[in-house]
Amino acid sequence: MAQPFPYTYYACDCFDSTTTTASKRASQVLAAAAEEDERDFDPRSPRSNYSLFPLEHLLYCEDCQQIRCPRCVIEETLNWYCPSCLFEVPSSVVKSDGNRCTRNCFNCPVCTAPMTTNSLDTSGDNGPPYILACPYCHWSTVEIGIEFEKSTGISSQLARVANGGKHIPTQKERDKERERKKELEERRREGRAVMSPSEESPTTDTEREEVAPSHDELFANLGAFYKSQMEAQTPSNPFSSHDINYSSPSAYSRIVNLYSSTTSKKNKRNKHTPFREAGSALEGLTIHDSAADAAAIERIKREGWGSTLSPSTKHAQINPNLRFDNELRPLATLLCTKRSKRCRSCRHILSKPETKVTSTRYKIKLLALNHIPRLSIRALPLNINPAQQQPLAPPARPESAFNYNGLKSGIPTHFLLHLSNPLFDPIRVTLATPSTTPGKVQSRITILCPQFDVGANTDVWDDALASTLSPINRTSLINDAGQIEAGKIWDRGRNWTSVVVEVVPGFLKPVAFPVLAEDGKGGGEAEGDDGGLDEDEDVLEIPVFVRIEFEADVVAEERGLGVSVGGGDAKKGEGGAREKREVAFWTVVGAGRIAPL
């Protein structure tokens, strides 16, 4: 999900730790780890796609004291539900009927909008027949010739009717029909007394409906065939010389037979008929029919591409072999799940929602938001006029007019990096950033005050009652030349501090500007690989390394009280044991897009 500027992503380092240990020897791992520490985080590396998350998607494991991203948690499904009718589906039904809603929820096969059941009755009292219609693109089951007699139980009605209104036999009827056909064939074979499959011609009896069997039918046939094969394979005597392999289905059914069937001993043990493959349509064999292809080509000639399906429409269908728009079926809505999440390394539960579908509350929820400082960036108003600066009124903020999508190359721009502390202890923050952004467009970045303190997240009223914080005289921050002085914080509050970052956006095209030539740093490399810009290469993303140090209460942690919960205890200092903690992580701050010159 692309976020509008400015944004902050947090890097979870879980992917680094797994790959290095897997492939290298211990000595190399150490070296690699050291190297890893040295290296700057590159937000453009293809791998970092998988490690950057917005803060609200991250969890925090209090036992490992680490951020947990969606990749380093284990998910456990609590329940399944239909997102459309919000009914919970029991897991047994999911196993038997698949992950689709078995009520009246359908999506349009063309545009995916949910479909409604409409009446075709013109008399005005909403009687039968009914159809499924899409309110968005106006596709309806009329186009595939399906109408329903009742307005409820649509999915069972739909299962019984093929496109065009023909009846689809149920599983049982299909099985019976298959048996009947098989017997017929058997009899015919006996009558001829010779096995001559080549001259097998359909007799008048089987020609009753010699339409090509549908996808479902073939699948059912194939399933039945393999089942029978498996049964045939099972030796009637369970105590045969074979080793019993519990993993194979035949061995399993053999063991089951051991207890159930006594009659099976009677049928002679015919020595291992080899496991054969399906040999006829009744056994689920499909033979490529060139006539069907010719017909399809003929149809495309006649009706044009308009009658064919787009890849995405085709992909959404359950039968993968559809080609034409009259073969579409309404799609039963896919189910959703509610999941709990566990830490991958210590297996503690990090988040557990309430099982009720409509409930949005959580039983357990350990958010990174409550443990990791929130970093945010925004443009600093350009008019650094001390007189105007002082009473900066929030409603008429001039920065709302700042165009984040049009950063100007080569012109120093100031951003405000704002760090707020969710912890109940004051923290000491050290920020680091590479001097130029990685990638082809190299922008110079300077954090004017890389080391500072952030107050504890105490009661809001503490701030108001004890005004210990001296107001920052911002005029002193700006020197005579109108530049912001380095080494001083911009502003701070109860549990937040903001510092200024100076950014000189790079040039999209490595033109030989005199500025660049003098610069010496930005120009050289950019000219080296002049391969044009990739997508989003003009986005100014600043990797920022954040390291925080603080003293936390040991006892409160060990008693299992989170920092967020045990805040009151921590202040009292039960036991008095304090330990020094250190948390470090990479973030990527998206400051804007550099405008082309």
Partner 1 sequence: MSRPTARKAAPKGEYIETDSGNKVSRRSAITGTANITLGGRTVIMADVVLRGDLHSTRPVPSSSGKEVTPTSISIGRCTVISTGSVIKPPCRTSKGMPHYYPVKIGDNVFVGPNCAISAITIASHVHIGANVTIHPFAIIKENVKILPNSVIPANMVIAPGSVVGGQPARVVGEVGEGWGVSGGGAGGGLGVGGGGEEKWVEGGDLRELVRSIK
Under the binding rule (CB under 8 A), the answer on residue 490 touching partner 1 is yes
DSSP class of residue 263 equals G
Q: Which is nearer to partner 1, 68 or 440 (CB)?
A: 68
Under the binding rule (CB under 8 A), the answer on residue 103 touching partner 1 is no
Count of residues for the chain?
597
Task: Report the run of H or E that residue 553 belongs to, with start and end.
Answer: strand 539-553
Closest approach, Cβ 325 to partner 1, in A, equals 18
Q: Which stretch binds partner 1 (CB under 8 A): 10-18, 51-59, 286-294, 297-305?
A: 51-59
Round to whole Å and give the CA distance between 74 and 68.
Answer: 10
Of 308, 376, 446, 451, which lies in the binding site for partner 1, with binding defined by CB under 8 A? 376
Q: Which is nearer to partner 1, 396 or 466 (CB)?
A: 396
Round to whole Å and give the CA distance between 404 and 534.
Answer: 20
Residue 57, token pair as written in the block = 């998607």
Of 368, 504, 552, 570, which lies in the binding site for partner 1, with binding defined by CB under 8 A? 368
Q: Which stretch binds partner 1 (CB under 8 A): 227-235, 317-325, 393-401, 540-548?
A: 393-401
Cα–Cα nearest to 233, from 213, 250, 252, 215? 250
CB 443 within 8 A of CB 506: yes
Under the binding rule (CB under 8 A), the answer on residue 552 touching partner 1 is no
Q: Which is nearer to partner 1, 284 or 422 (CB)?
A: 422
Cα–Cα nearest to 147, from 125, 120, 168, 124? 120
- Of residues 111 through 130, those in contact with partner 1 by CB under 8 A are 111-114, 116, 124
Of 287, 396, 466, 512, which lies in the binding site for partner 1, with binding defined by CB under 8 A? 396
Of 31, 98, 136, 582, which lies in the binding site for partner 1, with binding defined by CB under 8 A? 136
Helix (H, G, I), strand (E, B) or coil at 501: strand
x/- map, 554-573, partner 1, by CB under 8 A: ----------x--x------
Q: Which is nearer to partner 1, 58 or 251 (CB)?
A: 58
Q: Which is nearer to partner 1, 374 or 509 (CB)?
A: 374
The residue type found at 314 is K
Q: Which is nearer to partner 1, 162 or 589 (CB)?
A: 589
Closest approach, Cβ 457 to partner 1, in A, equals 5
Q: Which is nearer to partner 1, 369 or 595 (CB)?
A: 369
Round to whole Å and give the CA distance between 594 and 445.
Answer: 14
Under the binding rule (CB under 8 A), the answer on residue 280 touching partner 1 is no
Round to whole Å and give the CA distance between 400 and 379.
Answer: 9
Phi-psi domain of 439 (left: phi exceeds 0; alpha: psi -120 through 50; beta: other): left
Round to whole Å and give the CA distance between 300 and 457.
Answer: 68
Cα–Cα nearest to 44, from 447, 573, 443? 443
Residue 77, token pair as written in the block = 């499904």
- Of residues 301 through 340, those in contact with partner 1 by CB under 8 A are 336
Q: Which is nearer to partner 1, 156 or 400 (CB)?
A: 400
Helix (H, G, I), strand (E, B) or coil at 237: coil
Cα–Cα nearest to 85, from 339, 336, 317, 362? 336
Of 10, 81, 139, 507, which lies in the binding site for partner 1, with binding defined by CB under 8 A? 81
Under the binding rule (CB under 8 A), the answer on residue 460 touching partner 1 is yes
Round to whole Å and give the CA distance between 422 and 550.
Answer: 12
Of 52, 55, 542, 594, which lies in the binding site for partner 1, with binding defined by CB under 8 A? 55
Under the binding rule (CB under 8 A), the answer on residue 84 touching partner 1 is yes
DSSP per position, 323-359: -BGGG--PEEPBPEEEEEEEETTT--EEEEE-SSTT-
Residue 170, token pair as written in the block = 């149920």
Strand ranges for 7-69 from DSSP E: 7-11, 52-53, 59-61, 66-68
Under the binding rule (CB under 8 A), the answer on residue 56 touching partner 1 is yes
Under the binding rule (CB under 8 A), the answer on residue 54 touching partner 1 is yes
- Of residues 175 through 194, those in contact with partner 1 by CB under 8 A are none
Which residues contribute to the site for partner 1 (CB under 8 A)?
1, 3-4, 6-7, 53-59, 81, 83-86, 111-114, 116, 124, 134-137, 336, 341, 351, 357-358, 360, 362, 365, 367-370, 374, 376, 378, 389, 392-396, 400, 416, 418, 420-423, 457, 459-460, 490-491, 493-496, 498, 564, 567
